[in-house]
Amino acid sequence: MPDRDPEAFRLLLKPAAIRSRAQEMLRLGRAGDLLHFTVHPERLEACADYVLETIRANYPTLDIPFHARWRHFTVAGLDRWALLDKAAHFADARERGRAAYDLAVVSVLLDAGAGPDWSYRDAVSGKRIARSEGLALASLDMFAAGLFSADPARPLRADASALKRLEPEALAAGFQAGPANPLLAVEGRAALLNRLGEELERQGLSRPGDLFDRFLAAAETGSLRASHMLGEVLATFGGIWPSRLTLAGVALGDTWRHPLIAPGSATAGLVPFHKLSQWLTYSLIEPLQWAGITVLDVDDLTGLPEYRNGGLLLDIGVLALKDENQAARAHEAGATLVVEWRALTVALLDEIGALIRQRLGRSREELPLAKVLEGGTWAAGRRIAAEKRPGGGPPLTIVSDGTVF
């Protein structure tokens, strides 16, 4: 593969490339030409019905927030971030925004699949909380306790100097993880935060919250585009991901190979997703809105190719494995089967979003994909998984290093 043109590879860092490669994968699937999946568009209407039923159950008034990390901080009916925010008495909107960004970045980077056997005991409610909500609450508690701060007198921050020294044992303790409560990829999560601290210092930043100030400065007229935010997220945090593909000096992060995609092009065979970076970008929007900034074109970002959204499509029959035995095997993130599944998920989420908007009579501005995901496909994926499998696990098993799912 030629790798002399950096610009061709930088295009793979943009949401338009994620969407176009995903649509190419869907065209191959509809033609029956994929290696691992068949696509059944006749099941899309049933899928939309199921998602709409889930939306109405979760948000009867259709007042749906964005799909973002902030949703997971509400546990047992209490918004824990709101309680922390109120008790902190931040000096001004900038201090609040920096702290919110510190928390969001760390919490999102820790939000890879926990595994089926881990849970977190909430000290407030006494309940055991699993999966994303458990990871979110644990990260919030660690943040509030100052685990990520270099200054004991100022716990509500995540300093580069503290992040790069964070030990896996300290993180495991914060997650209450151990042999009797196993959490996937504790070492990988700690290493990711270590690299975050190193990368921030390399770029002359002292904390993730510095990005909040950067976005405020860029929003000179009071608005900012979501695609600009994703570009900054990728530029700021791109160096933290484990060594994967770097071509023409461009670190491609969450980009994987598939032999059937874009043949003959300079970037042949490359399929970008940037799932965690987009999840992070979605989660950085609201603190800007709290500070009075309007974020435009949120729908330029894509649906998130992870196991709840992708699992919904498999469980409801929009997608089917050509070899059903693959469902019983564990798959690496770079396997062509996983790349197909994730790309098909991105493309089909756009189609489901369009169906939902059509049925509700809403425009893209009124009901962007970020709200369809929240309402929505992610919740519907969890719901159908619980209906189909004890423990509510996904229909496919992915070997996680803590940086993809």
Domain with 222 in it: 6-399
Place of tokens 């001004």: 92
Judged against a pLDDT cut of 90, whether residue 222 lies above it is answered with yes
Nearest to 194 by CA among 170, 172, 162: 162
Indicate whether 1 belongs to any domain.
Answer: no
Indicate whether 404 belongs to any domain.
Answer: no
Indicate whether 185 belongs to any domain.
Answer: yes
What are the tokens at 157? 């921050």
Reported as a pLDDT band with limits 50, 70 and 90, residue 402 is low
Alpha-carbon gap, residue 236 to 303, rounded angstroms: 22
What is the total count of domains within the chain? 1
pTM for this one?
Answer: 0.93
Indicate whether 405 belongs to any domain.
Answer: no
Treating both helix axes as pointing N-terminal to C-terminal, what angle do 336-360 and 44-58 enclose, rounded to 10 degrees? 70
What are the tokens at 149? 């701060």
Reported as a pLDDT band with limits 50, 70 and 90, residue 5 is confident
Place of tokens 């409801």: 316
Reported as a pLDDT band with limits 50, 70 and 90, residue 405 is low
Other beta carbons less than 10 A from residue 89's beta carbon? 8
Average pLDDT over residues 153-170: 98
Q: What integer pLDDT is reported at residue 3 of this predicted model?
A: 45
Average pLDDT over residues 276-299: 95
Indicate whether 171 belongs to any domain.
Answer: yes
Considering the chain, what is the average pLDDT of its residues? 94
Indicate whether 293 belongs to any domain.
Answer: yes
Judged against a pLDDT cut of 80, whether residue 303 lies above it is answered with yes
Q: What integer pLDDT is reported at residue 256 of this predicted model?
A: 96
Other beta carbons less than 10 A from residue 29's beta carbon? 22
Strand 74-75 vs strand 319-321: parallel, antiparallel, or unpaired? unpaired
| C-alpha to C-alpha distances, 281 to 15, 70, 233, 237, nearest whole angstrom | 12, 12, 7, 11
- Three-state DSSP state, 405: coil
Alpha-carbon gap, residue 52 to 372, rounded angstroms: 9
Q: What integer pLDDT is reported at residue 170 of this predicted model?
A: 98
Other beta carbons less than 10 A from residue 316's beta carbon? 21
Judged against a pLDDT cut of 80, whether residue 22 lies above it is answered with yes
Which residues have C-beta within 8 Å of that of residue 9, sequence separation ≥ 6? 3, 247, 248, 250, 252, 266, 267
Indicate whether 353 belongs to any domain.
Answer: yes
Indicate whether 243 belongs to any domain.
Answer: yes
Which residues have C-beta within 8 Å of that of residue 211, sequence separation ≥ 6? 101, 105, 205, 232, 233, 236, 284
pLDDT tens profile 390-400: 989 899 999 87
Q: What integer pLDDT is reported at residue 1 of this predicted model?
A: 44
Cis ω for the linkage preceding 376 (within 30 of 0): yes
Reported as a pLDDT band with limits 50, 70 and 90, residue 114 is confident
Query: In terms of C-beta density within 10 A (0-12 exposed, 13-18 middle, 19 or more buried), how is residue 4 classed?
Result: exposed
